[in-house]
Structure 1
Amino acid sequence: MVAQQHGRRGAAFAAVTMAGAVAGVVATTGCSGEVGATADDRPAGGPRVVREAADVLLASGSSKARTSMEMAAGGTRVTIRGEGGYNFAERIGRLKVVLPRDPAGASEHRPITELVAPAALYMKNRGAGVPADKWVRVDATTLEDGNLVTGGATDPLAAAELLRAARNVTFVGSQDLAGTRVWHYRGVTDIGEAAKVASPFARGALNAAAKGFAKDVVPFDAYLDDEGRLRKVRHRFSYLNQGRTVDVASTTLLYAFGSAVSVQLPPAADIFAGKIGT
């Protein structure tokens, strides 16, 4: 496999090849159950505030982030977790992604450092044969999933952009999420429709995703705070891999808004252009 030429079916999603599986749900310590807010308590315009979540994030500056992805592979449910920060103003983030152990449990993988940007994914410690000081760059618009699951972590801003096409939105209740009151909404979104109304920087990747998933309709649970900021979102994707439909649950947790997050993309000289081992 050539580093900068991840084919569509040929890639079979890096999320699968780099770990043998992808994964799961973000732990939400401090999150209590729904408290059943009344109609008078809930924020006005529920569907609207969900669809505008990306705009609110873009205006919020930055935050810290935790991500997680869960899927079943070979009869075993595995989890990939990420942690870092996102600069929404510059539309770029940095995550350290931790892969699960080998199926036999014999060894641990080195964490992968990922830089997520609207059109590209940069990874360090991506695979065998890549020098320790080099990055692998993947064009998100050439990936079947538009990098919604490929890197083992959904780009937080892309996760919010998907909500622009939210429909059948229902209010579930209010709850405490790590000390912050949030409003829980549930619904579905459509990847193709989201691509049509997404911010210009996100359309290429979402258009690619609309062609690559087994189902365009994606169920979600979104949790927004009193200011309309997306604090947590969980999407349930389905994609085809070697003729089988694989279900992936991706969760993103955003907190510590306003934290300093500085991310610089690697220069061209630091991008690996050789072949990557599996």
Structure 2
Amino acid sequence: MVVQQHRLRGGVCAAAAMVGVGVAATAGCSTGGDAVADARPPGDPVATVRNAADVLADAGTSKARTAMEMAAGGTRVTIRGEGGYDFRRTMGRLKVVLPKDPAGADEHRPITELLAPGALYMKDRGAGVPADKWVRVDTTTLRDGNLVTGGATDPAAAAELLRGARSVTYVGQEDLAGVRVAHYRGVTDIAHAARAASPQVRGALTAAAQGFAEDAVPFDAYLDDAGRLRKVRHRFSFVNQGRTVAVASTTLLYEFGAPVVVQLPAHRDIYAGQIRDGV
């Protein structure tokens, strides 16, 4: 796996620390087929990839699956999510499943995550939070802008991150779950993406640009004939507490137009107490 080295300033713990797993990681879903080389890409690769977020906003909604694979110190774990996303409102709902413990026992309940502009809401967060309460996190204050902290990259942020794409190569056509897609590979720049991002996502990406010492993030993006992003995989790497942590975040989008209902919790339902990490 090819990764770019990043250092997350301030020794911030990544995805697993936030959701209580206590480890971090790399990888993603398989492509679903070998690429067929094509010397004539459908349009300019850089412009096509950078436009992916706008096309998703036009598409409206979709169902989503996420996978965040992390590796550190010989330990490898995967956090998976599934739900739906509204790209016009930049809001979504995911059920995030944490990995089993080393003994094989599944001791973690799934976490419900609501994704909204500038905020992440989590229920069944554990760590001393009452079962009927939500935890709210301001994503514009997170060192990674919630690209990895919540255990699932916000689908809108995953697409908006491509606005900073450069050095993009058209790999070829592939089959992805029965859909013919164009495969692009390149590197995106977080700081550039933050400047070009839509207002709803700009704050979180700006935080990520400030939190990572380097901005280059390798990616693989798969777009259908309508230009809709069907799958994207970003590869992050940073140093946390003296250890290099590699994280590969994969977002899979399908069933465009599917109904997506996201209702944010009332203020009285948000937990205001102290959260114990690592529980």
Task: State the TM-score, normalizing by the size of structure 2.
Answer: 0.91
Of structures 1 and 2, the one with the larger relative CO (CA 8 A, separation 6+) is 2
Question: Which residue number in structure 2 is paired with residue 13 of structure 1?
Answer: 14
Aligned 8 A contact 1:49 1:228 in 2: yes
1:70 CA drift (Å): 0.8
Q: How many residues align?
A: 268
User: Alignment partner of 2:202: what SS?
Assistant: helix
Q: Does 1:277 align with 2:276?
A: yes
The answer on whether the counterparts of 1:215 and 1:238 sit within 8 Å (CA) in structure 2 is no
TM-superposed CA distance for 1:153, in Å, is 0.4
Mapped to 2, the partners of 1:181 and 1:142 lie a distance apart of 39
Asked whether the 8 Å contact 1:20–1:73 carries over to 2, the reply is no
Q: How does 1:1-278 map to 2 (within 5 A)?
A: 9=10, 12-17=13-18, 18-23=20-25, 25-28=27-30, 31-39=32-40, 42-278=41-277
Identity %: 70
Q: Measure how far apart 1:26 and its partner are.
A: 4.3
Name the SS of the counterpart of 2:160 in structure 1.
helix
Deviation at 1:49, TM superposition (A): 1.0
> How far off is 1:51 after superposition?
0.3
Map Cα deviations across residues 153-201 of structure 1 (whole Å, 9 max, x no partner): 0001101101001000110000110111100000101111111111112
CA, structure 1 residues 226+233, in 2 after alignment: closer, same or farther (shift >3 Å)? same
CA contact (8 A) 1:67 1:250 kept: yes
Q: Residue 103 of structure 1: CA displacement?
A: 2.7
CA distance 1:21–1:236, shift in 2 (3 Å): same
Q: Counterpart of 2:6?
A: none
Worse-matched range after superposition: 162-171 or 194-203: 194-203
- The alignment yields a C-alpha RMSD, in angstroms, of 1.7
Shift of 1:28: 4.7
8 Å CA contact 2:230, 2:254 repeated in 1:
yes
Alpha carbons of 1:23 and 1:254: their partners in 2 closer, same or farther (altered >3 Å)? farther
Closer/same/farther in 2, CA of residues 275 and 243 from structure 1, 3 Å limit: same
Take 2:174 and 2:15, find their aligned partners in 1: how far apart are those partners? Answer: 35
For 1:34 and 1:186, the matched residues in 2 are separated by 12
Q: Say whether the 8 Å CA contact 2:72–2:244 is kept in structure 1.
A: no
SS in 2 for 1:262: coil
2: distance between equivalents of 1:275 and 1:10? 20
CA contact (8 A) 1:219 1:236 kept: yes
Q: Distance in 2 between matches of 1:129 and 1:216?
A: 35
Residues 49 and 227 of structure 1: is their aligned pair in 2 closer, same or farther, counting only changes over 3 Å? same
Q: Which residue of 2 aligns with 1:5?
A: none
* Deviates most, 219-228 or 238-247: 238-247
Unaligned runs of 5+ in 2: 1-8
Deviation of 1:215 after TM superposition, in Å, equals 2.7
CA distance in structure 2 between the partners assigned to 1:10 and 1:264 by the alignment: 33
Gaps of 5+ in 1: 1-7
Q: Would you say the 8 A contact 1:32–1:176 is kept in 2?
A: yes
Which residue does 2:3 correspond to in 1? none
TM-score, length-scaled by structure 1: 0.91
* 189-198 or 207-216, larger mean C-alpha shift: 207-216
Contact 1:79/1:100, CA 8 A, preserved across alignment = yes
Q: For 1:54, what is the secondary structure of its paired residue?
A: helix
